Structure 1
Amino acid sequence: MSEAAIMASDSLWRKLRSEAQRTAKADPVFGKAVAGAVLAHDDFAAALADLIGQRLGSNAAERARFTCFARDAFGGEPDLIEAASRDLLAIARRDPVVAGLLPPLLHYKGYLALQAWRVSNWLWRHHHRDAALLFQNEASNLLQVSIHPAASIGSAVYLDHATGIVIGANVVIGDDVTILQSVSIGRSSELPARSPRIGRGVFIGAGASILGDISIGDLAKIGAGTVVTRDIPAGCTAVGNPARLTNCPEAASAA
């Protein structure tokens, strides 16, 4: 992690602690939960690892195991914490009802599912495949978000509402992408069975399906319920089943 990234992560942690202290003071009942989730920890990595363990584990032994996996991942690859920080800041920027960083950290299951995926992806890349698939299974069962450990996802990604999201193996998703509920991104039934590539800044509406060996260009928008089985040029909006293009930049329309 670069020095600038470390400073950004430290700044985010200070903001979270400040919010947690104000919340604990204003609401002593909920304050106990906030103290355990945030104020009891020394840094963002420790708090996030514990949060993942608490949400995915169904008993004390499982909670300890998931927490340990997450700590190993964050310690082994500090860039995961930089990505987690950018994901949290992205929610605060894009969700108009969010006031602060603490609510999405503690209550947004899409955020938690994405960070659990980051741990599972680290495990997958370090040849701990069974543990990686265990993370995927538990996140799917408990959070209704199934992201294969072999997917590739950038940072500043926002899984909004998050229920029913499925992202398959080898899917590639760029930075600054927003994905709403009930979205499926994966291989089609046609051979060769290859996965979609989603560009930077793409918005994917609720209930959309993106299938097959296709590319979604940067800043494209996929409308709710749209079924996409062919390339979408950068900046275009795709709507309908099958998808049709609208609102394309002039250069994309000419192409």
Structure 2
Amino acid sequence: MSEHEAEKGKPNSIGSFSFWPLHLEKVFPVYAMGIPNPVLDSSLKNFDCFDPICDDVRNETKLEAEREPILSSFFYATILSHDCLEQALAFALANRLQKPTLLATQLMDIFSTVMKHDKGIQHSIRLDIQAFKDRDPSSLSYCLALLHMKGYQSLQVYRVAHALWGQGRKVLALALQSRVSEVFGVDIHPAAKIGNGILVNHGTGVVIGETAIIGNRVSLMQGVTLGGTGKETGDRHPKVAEGVLIGAHASILGNFKVGEFVMTAASSLVLQEIPPHSIVAGVPAKVIGRVHAHYPSFIMQQGKQ
């Protein structure tokens, strides 16, 4: 079942999660269902005893190690030696971002501690990795997305930094933001608010400002900017609603809403509010059509439909 085929119901609010008891292959947390209040089997509520995403990551990693024996020690160290998805992700992120004055062991402790105690992040890292697997044709497996896709990795570091920002540890949060910008070329302010099931495709050049808000199930291509006009202070960044697709190198500047299920064409410059279900393109961007299906962020078609 694809994401856009599954999507039927009412959108969830930012930061909410939805699950569906059965999947055609196995039980997965399916953010795409859009069910406001699904009935959950009790086993679905505790990732410690039921974690099919983690199981798939481990099984895929074993297969990859068999296919490419020269990388078997790498796969063991990064994924197979860890007890849970959070630990594996923390290890991978720490080793990507380490530097002489910020050691991998320090970063590992930061990431694993936050992830271990934040159930919201535990849900988000799974919903995001499924978004990458479902929507990005180059994402061959969950494990390769976790290990190699800097859009996914940048997003998960943001989630940790956002939690630290909320705890008042702003200097550490900004240090993580700065390091991600140096290593991955992705700049997400830790105070921004970002929902679940997010795809940051390729990642290079993505900028998300301090007061930006992004709803659930949004897809952003490379080079996207959610910024201010440069003439404002305070709340000055865009508010992107559910199911939006923002094309490559599009810039959305200012404090206004981009409505549900909008498709923003590549290289557009958006300077004013966009109605729901609109297709916009140009410099400055204008409405050139309507989105006839829910969730352009699932279809990933960057042009007039």
TM bucket by the smaller chain? over 0.9
Letter of the 1:85 counterpart:
R
Q: Give 1:98 deviation, angstroms.
A: 2.6
TM-superposition CA deviations, 1:130-178 (whole Å, max 9, x none)? 0000000000000000000000000110110110111010100011111
**Contact 1:104/1:111 (<8 A) preserved:** yes
Partner of 1:149: 190
What TM-score does the superposition give when structure 1 sets the normalisation length? 0.93
Percent identity among equivalent residues? 30
Q: Give 1:76 deviation, angstroms.
A: 2.1
**What CA distance in whole angstroms lies between the structure 1 residues aligned with 2:79 and 2:198?**
22
SS at match of 1:210: strand
Matched, 1:248 2:290: yes
Pick from 27, 46, 63 the counterpart of residue 6 of structure 1: 46
Q: Give 1:129 deviation, angstroms.
A: 0.5
Q: From the two aligned structures, give the one with the greater helix fraction.
A: 1
SS at match of 1:247: strand
**Contact 1:204/1:223 (<8 A) preserved:** yes
**Contact 1:215/1:232 (<8 A) preserved:** yes
TM-superposition CA deviations, 1:70-115 (whole Å, max 9, x none)? 1121122122011010000011111123322111111100000000
Which segments of 5 or more consecutive residues in structure 1 lack a partner in the other structure?
251-255
**What CA distance in whole angstroms lies between the structure 1 residues aligned with 2:161 and 2:50?**
21
Pick from 87, 102, 110 the counterpart of residue 143 of structure 2: 102
Cα RMSD (Å): 1.9
Letter of the 1:47 counterpart:
A
Q: Give 1:61 deviation, angstroms.
A: 5.3
Alignment of 1:220-231 (within 5 A): 220-231=262-273
Pick from 160, 163, 175 the counterpart of residue 122 of structure 1: 163
Q: Which has the higher contact order (CA 8 A, sep 6+)?
A: 2
Alignment of 1:13-162 (within 5 A): 13-59=54-100, 62-162=103-203
**What CA distance in whole angstroms lies between the structure 1 residues aligned with 2:282 and 2:50?**
41
Pick from 196, 205, 221 the counterpart of residue 247 of structure 2: 205
What TM-score does the superposition give when structure 2 sets the normalisation length? 0.78
Partner of 1:174: 215
**What CA distance in whole angstroms lies between the structure 2 residues aligned with 1:86 and 1:184?**
23
Taking structure 1 as reference, are residues 6 and 59 closer, same or farther at Cα in structure 2, changes over 3 Å only?
farther
Letter of the 1:107 counterpart:
H
SS at match of 2:111: helix
Letter of the 1:243 counterpart:
A
- Between 1:60-69 and 1:207-216, the stretch displaced more is 60-69
**What CA distance in whole angstroms lies between the structure 2 residues aligned with 1:220 and 1:36?**
41
Partner of 1:165: 206
Q: Give 1:187 deviation, angstroms.
A: 1.5
Taking structure 1 as reference, are residues 109 and 249 closer, same or farther at Cα in structure 2, changes over 3 Å only?
closer
State the 4+ residue runs in structure 1 displaced beyond 4 angstroms: none
**What CA distance in whole angstroms lies between the structure 2 residues aligned with 1:181 and 1:155?**
19
Partner of 2:225: 184
SS at match of 1:75: helix
Q: Give 1:26 deviation, angstroms.
A: 2.0
**What CA distance in whole angstroms lies between the structure 1 residues aligned with 2:165 and 2:63?**
39
**What CA distance in whole angstroms lies between the structure 1 residues aligned with 2:191 and 2:232?**
19
Partner of 1:214: 256
**What CA distance in whole angstroms lies between the structure 2 residues aligned with 1:22 and 1:239?**
43
Matched, 1:237 2:279: yes
**What CA distance in whole angstroms lies between the structure 1 residues aligned with 2:214 and 2:106?**
28
SS at match of 2:191: coil
